[in-house]
Every structure is written in C-alpha cells, then in structure tokens.
A and B are shown apart, each in its own frame.
Chain A
Amino acid sequence: MSEEKLIFEKSAPGRRAATFPALDVPAFAGDAWLPKDARRMAPLGLPEVSEQDLVRHYTRLSQRNIGIDTQIYPLGSCTMKYNPKVNEDLSGRDGFRNIHPLQPDDTVQGALQVLWEMEHWLSEISGMPAICLQPSAGAQGELTALLVCKAYHDSRGRRPRKVLVPDSSHGTNPASAAYCGYTVETVKSRADGTVDLEDLKPRITEDVACLMMTNPNTVGIFEKDIKLIAGWLHAVDAQLYYDGANLNAICGVARPGDMGCDMMHFNVHKTFSTPHGGGGPGAGPIGVKEHLRPFLPVPRVRRKSDGSFSLDAHEAHSIGRVRHFTGNFGILLRGLIYLRSFGGDGLSEIAKRAVLNANYLLALLKDRFYAPYGDRCMHEFVLSVSPQKKQKDVGATDFAKRLADYGYHAPTIYFPLIVPEALMLEPVETEAKETLDELAAILRKIDAEDPALLHAAPVNTPVGRLDEVGAARNPVLRWKPVL
C-alpha cells in the first residue's frame, strides 16, 4: 500500500505547529467590537498538527513528486529548463521579499529598477519598443494584448470582430480571444506543419482584428513566410500576435519585432528559467509596437531626469489593469537575474544549444519513430506513434506511462491536435548529451517491449493508472470530516 494520509487525517485536537506571543495590548472588553450576527459560528475545519508532523507530511509528499531537479522533463512547448538556485537565494532576500506593493516610490527604488531593467531586456530581445510586465501568466498576457488590439481598433473607429488562429495553436489562444469578445476562426496547416497560405489569404478581410501565431510553430517548424503574412494583415490594419511560448528557439538569434509582429507575450516561466512550481506561478509580460503603446495597462514604470524611478497610473488611453499591483514581481526578478547571468554576449547560446539538442534527439529517434515533419526541427519536434497504435494498439498514453516506470516524465502527448498520437519533445539546452542518449535509448527500448507492459504501466510509481472516468463522473473535490 502506498497511500499517504491527508494532513486532516493526521490531525489531533490540541496540537500546534506555530504559536504566537501573548497579546500585549488590552484584550477586547466584550463582544461589542464584533456583533454576534457578524461572527463565525461554524468550526474552522483546519488540521491540528505538531511542527514535526507538518514537516514530515509535506516532505513525504515531496518525495511522491518529481521536478526538473530530479529528472528531465522533455515536455514540448513547456521549456522545462534548469531553475537556477542563485535566483532563489537573491529573490528571497529581505530587500525584495518584504516590500509592500503600495509603498511610496522612493522606498522601493531597487524594485522599480528591477522592473525597468526587465522591460529593457525584453524590449531588446523581442524588438518590441513598449513592454508591460503586469500579466501574471502567458494566457493573461494574450488577453491583455488582445484587449490592447481592440482598444487600438476602437480608437480608429473600426470594429473587426474576428481573430484567426492556426489549428495547431495552444488552447489559450482561442480562449483568450473569446474572453475579449472576438469570434475565432481556425486556419489550416499544410502537411509540412506551417500555416497554409492559401487557406489563410482569403480569410484576411477587414473583419479580421488579429492573427495569432507561434514561431517556431507548435510542431517545431519556423514559419518562414511570417513577414509576408504580416504584410497581408497590415494592409487591412489587422495585427499580428506572436505567442512567445517557443521563444527559446530564437532568443538572441531572431526577434518577433523584426518579423512584422505587432504584439507578443513572453512566458517568463518557460524561456527565462523561473520555476514552474507544480503549475504556477509564472509571468506573462507583453511587448507591443509603438502604435499600441498608449493602450497598455497601468501603472507604467517611468524614469525621471534625475535617474530615479516612479510608477505612473495616469495614461489616458490605457485599457486599465488586469490585476492588483504591478505583477508577479518575484518571478520577474528571477527572470532578470537569469538573463543577466547570460548577458548580451551569451544570450544566443540558449537558442543555439536548444536547437542543437532537439535536432540531436530527433536524429537518435527518427529511424525508429515516425516524425511527420522530417529530419530537421527547431527547439522541439513531434513524433507520432500512430503506426504503433495501429500495429500493436500502443498509443501516446501508453508510452507516457511506461516512461514513468523508467523514471522519466513523459513528453507532451496529444498536442498539437493536428498530429494523431502525438509525442512532442523539447530537450532544453540545460540537458547534457548523455541525458539525451539515455532518453532516446529508453524510448527505443519501450518501443520494442511487449505491449502488455505498456498497457499495464506504470508499475514502478507510487500509484498506478488512475480512474479518471470515475473522478469526473463522481467528483470528490475536498476532504470532509467523517461525522
């Protein structure tokens, strides 16, 4: 049995893991300060544990988990690169950790300089003159940029209603467009994975607000016609949006701003090494061209003539704000420290090594696995195990689960949707050659194994395959005390 009790199940009345000094001001005389009908009556329902039990419980839970620090995560489109420890140390220091977001500007000059410098770095990397660091994640960055786009068209008295999205796009693209009040139209991909220009061109009408593209796209191929596409869009005053999820392939080598893109988001938790935290936090700053700058969220970071920094909430045409305060500062700070460890002189090495690693891993696998988009890729590539599914009834899920038995986290499976039984691999630049050799060897080994082993997998993990159908049909979404 490998169950771990819930913290509630380890609770015993009267235990504490944190105590506080006695109250040093007079206690309330009666209840007048908090009238009876404003008081909580229900029990709090929180666990009561000692500090040892608390620490042991979550330490043991961590041991039932994995991270980049324990193994490679070849997840396509996630850019699971090493999370530097110096970033954790520096961002955890008192001067960054213990500052309130509403402090007067003159008491947080260091924080404002961090934001200013990060804006500068992102601007240089992207070729976008105007940066907003506020969005909390890539999806929120997409939404923010689309809101800016809408405000721009409104200011010109135009009301295009459509956003075009490739059929290979990440789900957040159409979801963000819908949140912005746009209707979404899907553009086909060619057999080589790139946007089908013949399908795209007739769709670009004056009713199109924006085309959202990822470059390289989600199958790892560079969209070389992007400038041509930008020209078509600009002819009808439509905007070109760049989804920055795959920026790792071109960072320091090419810039979205030079490709004709009008706006983009960055995934700081992908390209710029900040830890994924089990699903978050991240940060999704956006960059835009000058004509869109007036509409960016407030507040903006300003630098005064004396060199000092301030936050300015007054921007007549701003779309407003998408969150409280200025953004996920702790994450942006980590991203800046990472960038400064590479410098302008080392920046392009990231993309070069990422693309090298991906092409190497592809070369190790392509004789055995079907690679629908050929021998070359950028920083990630897609394989399809559709042949294996047909021959031996082993699909992408089975490969993923069997990899777990060998201690590997699976690549991205079933994405992008245009590739059946997809395995998308991104062996980031922080992985050594030996790690890639081992991963390739294991994938080849699994491919040769008895299908029964794959169907039964995983057997070496704390739990086996889960009843996801039961979980959805009869949702149990919280612990309840047994009465």
Chain B
Amino acid sequence: MPSPSDRLFTKTHEWIKIEGATASVGLTEFAVHAIKDIVFIELPRVGRALEAGKPFGVVESVKAVFDLNAPLAGTVAAVNGGVEADFTPLASDPYGAGWLLRLTHVTGDQSALMDGAAYDRFCAQEHH
C-alpha cells in the first residue's frame, strides 16, 4: 500500500503530519512491519522540547531496540498513553489511532523530509 500523501517522512521511518501550528508524529507501516512483535514503547513526557533528528523515545522488540527520532523540532503537547500500554493500534493503524505524539511550536527544515512517494522509493531501495 502506498504511503499516505498528507504527511512527510524521515529516513528513520517516522512520519509527521503538520496541521497549522500543531503536528502529529508516528511510526510508519514499513517500520512497524519490520519490527514485527513490539514488546515495549517509551514515549517522552508532555512539555519536553524535541530536537530535529534526535531520539525522543524507543520501540523494542524482543531482540532489538529502535530509537524514535523527532522529524522536526517542537514541544510535546500530548502523548498517546494508550499505545504505551496496548500496542495494537500501532500495529494495525500506524497512521491513525497508532499516533505517538502531538507537537506544538514546530520548527525546522521540512525540505529534509520526504513525501509519501519519495519515502516509498527509499524503502524499496533500502530493502535491497
């Protein structure tokens, strides 16, 4: 399935959907599919300031740990606490109910990010 066109993507498989002054952040379907069985998610506290490209949390499978990296800079306004306890939405609906963070004061260079089509091409390359 092609990646949604209403948002931007990072090389480390996070997405960001900007709506005016706020943005939502999550993990892509490609990433969730690659990790397979998630056993743990750690998300930051509300109020934390994030730096573009730097880790803000982790996702873990049994055998591996993956940093979650901020696509752009911003302040954490809300965290999807439900997903920290129950990963099902993340696996089944990573672009909707599986959202991870809402940010405010979003800043940074959006041209460093990819659109849906470019991200799909990137994944196809990486897979080989």
Contacts and interface: CB of A to CB of B under 8 A. Distances in A.
Contacts of B62: 468-469, 472
Contacts of B40: 472-473
Interface string A455-471: 00000000000001100
Contacts of B39: 469, 472-473
A472 B62 CA distance: 7
A472 B40 CA distance: 8
A202 B73 CA distance: 32
7 contacts: A469-B37, A469-B62, A472-B39, A472-B40, A472-B60, A472-B62, A473-B40
Interface in A442-483: 468-469, 472-473
Overall SS of chain B's interface: loop
A470 to B, nearest CB: 9
A79 to B, nearest CB: 24
A242 B106 CA distance: 47
Contacts of B60: 472
B42 to A, nearest CB: 13
A366 B61 CA distance: 33
Interface of B: 37, 39-40, 60-63
Nearest to A469: B37
Nearest to A397: B63
A476 to B, nearest CB: 14
Given A468-B62, A472-B40, A472-B62, 9 more contacts: A414-B63, A469-B37, A469-B39, A469-B61, A469-B62, A472-B39, A472-B60, A473-B39, A473-B40
Nearest to B87: A473
A421 to B, nearest CB: 13
Interface in A33-79: none
Closest 4 CB pairs of A and B: A472-B39, A469-B37, A468-B62, A473-B39
B83 to A, nearest CB: 13
Contacts of A469: 37, 39, 61-62
Contacts of A473: 39-40
B38 to A, nearest CB: 8
A468 B62 CA distance: 7
Nearest to A475: B39
B61 to A, nearest CB: 8
A28 to B, nearest CB: 50
A473 B61 CA distance: 10
A414 B61 CA distance: 15
A473 B40 CA distance: 7
A250 B30 CA distance: 45
A274 B63 CA distance: 29
Nearest to B63: A414
A473 B62 CA distance: 9
A202 B61 CA distance: 35
Contacts of A468: 62
B22 to A, nearest CB: 31
A469 B35 CA distance: 12
Tell which of B37, B40, B60 has the most Cβ of chain A within 10 Å. B37
A468 B37 CA distance: 10
A469 B64 CA distance: 12
A98 B63 CA distance: 42
B56 to A, nearest CB: 20
A414 B62 CA distance: 14
Contacts of A472: 39-40, 60, 62
A414 B63 CA distance: 10
Nearest to B36: A469
A27 B63 CA distance: 55
Nearest to B37: A469
A353 to B, nearest CB: 34
A426 B61 CA distance: 28
A353 B37 CA distance: 43
Contacts of B61: 469
A471 B62 CA distance: 9
Interface in A7-45: none
Nearest to A468: B62
A468 B64 CA distance: 13
B105 to A, nearest CB: 30
Nearest to B39: A472
A473 B63 CA distance: 13
B69 to A, nearest CB: 18
A223 B94 CA distance: 46
Contacts of B37: 469
Nearest to B60: A472
Nearest to B40: A472
B33 to A, nearest CB: 15
A469 B37 CA distance: 7
A235 B61 CA distance: 43
A68 B56 CA distance: 45
B4 to A, nearest CB: 28
